[in-house]
Amino acid sequence: MKIAVIGAGAMGGAVASGLCAAGCDYKITVSNPSAGHLKPLKEMGIAVTSDNTVAVRDADIVILAVKPWIIESVIAEIRPVLDYSRQTVAAIVAGVPGRQLCEWFLKDSELPQLMIVMPNTAMEVGSSMTFIVPVNAGEASVSAVEGIFNSLGTSMVIDEAHLPAATALASCGIAYAMRYVRASVEGGVELGFKASQAQQIVLETLKGAVALLQRPGSHPESEIDKVTTPGGLTIRGLNEMEHAGFTSSVVRGLKACVK
């Protein structure tokens, strides 16, 4: 299967390099105006070009990975050369509704197989939580796009109404998770560990927490109950974090992100 990736930044670059690193059998061409982002991809053996129309011409699946304010002009550029009868478009774009994409893609009253895809930066390491929103897409094209993003982590097909929340939790969520790590490392340094040691401790602890929660029937509160000795140390720390607004600030941050 041939894939064109338009835009070689954080998302487009991670799709291409991630698929390549995973040893996938896709023939990938990446297009980007400046050469800087293309160089490492070219070194991995990926075909590169600065011409979007060249990249999409032969592709079975076109992945758009440009900033939201650029996507309209990119669609206008590639629309004349796209063959809607055989090509699927997956748009990685935040905050652009499906109906708007349909308006921009409409050609002779036709649309391509079209979906919005929302990954996160962990595609780079094959661990993205990716959402797929079918906008105008049948089973075969959704399953082809699922195949791509399952090679880069885990994918979930959702409806568009859930996309803002999904974006907040998983795409932006990577940054929120990083902030928890940074905060814990800073605390660890103040308590006497070197930053590198503190980071290792925090990451291993998070790995353990994830593994505990991934067991069937597991729940965060029951895991917390096992740690919090009555009158003990853990509950003092937890309650202090809650007095400072821990849960509330996470919920408020997610809601602000969706707004």
Ligand X SMILES: O=C(O)[C@@H]1CCC=N1
Residue with smaller CB distance to ligand X, 20 or 174: 174
For ligand NDP, the binding residues in 218-237 under the rule CB under 6 A are none
Task: Give how many residues touch ligand X by CB under 6 A.
Answer: 4
Write the DSSP string, 70-88.
Answer: THHHHHHHHGGG--TTT-E
**Can residue 129 be called a binding residue for ligand NDP (CB under 6 A)?**
no
Q: Is 37 in the site for ligand NDP (CB under 6 A)?
A: yes
Question: How far apart (Å, rounded) are the C-alpha atoms in residues 5 and 106?
Answer: 21
Name the helix (H) or strand (E) containing 135.
strand 128-136
Binding range to ligand X, per CB under 6 A, among 29-37, 136-144, 166-174, 223-231: 166-174
If one asks whether residue 92 binds ligand NDP (CB under 6 A), the answer comes out as yes
Q: Which does 65 bind (CB under 5 to 8 A by kind): ligand X, ligand NDP, none?
A: ligand NDP
Q: Is 6 annotated as a binding residue?
A: yes
CA distance readout (Å), 123 to 120, 176, 225, 255: 6, 17, 34, 25
Piece in contact with ligand X (CB under 6 A), picked from 27-35, 124-132, 141-149, 164-172: 164-172
Q: Cα(212)–Cα(223) distance, rounded to whole angstroms?
A: 8
- Please indicate if the annotation marks 65 as binding a ligand: yes
Which pairs with CB-CB distance under 8 Å and at least 24 residues apart come from 49-54? 52/6, 52/77, 52/78, 53/77, 53/78, 53/80, 53/81, 54/29
Q: How far is the CB of 217 from ligand NDP (least distance, A)?
A: 31
| By CB under 6 A, residue 167 contacts ligand X | yes
Structure tokens at 162: 């859930």
Contacts of 44 (CB under 8 A, 6+ apart): 16, 17, 20, 21
Question: Residue 15 annotated as binding?
Answer: no
Question: Contact between 94 and ligand NDP (CB under 6 A)?
Answer: yes
Name which of 55 and 198 has its Cβ closer to ligand NDP.
55
**Neighbour count for residue 216 (Cβ, 10 Å):** 4
Task: Tell me which residues touch ligand NDP (CB under 6 A).
Answer: 6-12, 31-34, 37, 52, 65-68, 70, 74, 92-94, 118-121, 171
Under the rule (CB under 6 A), what is the footprint of ligand X?
94, 167, 171-172
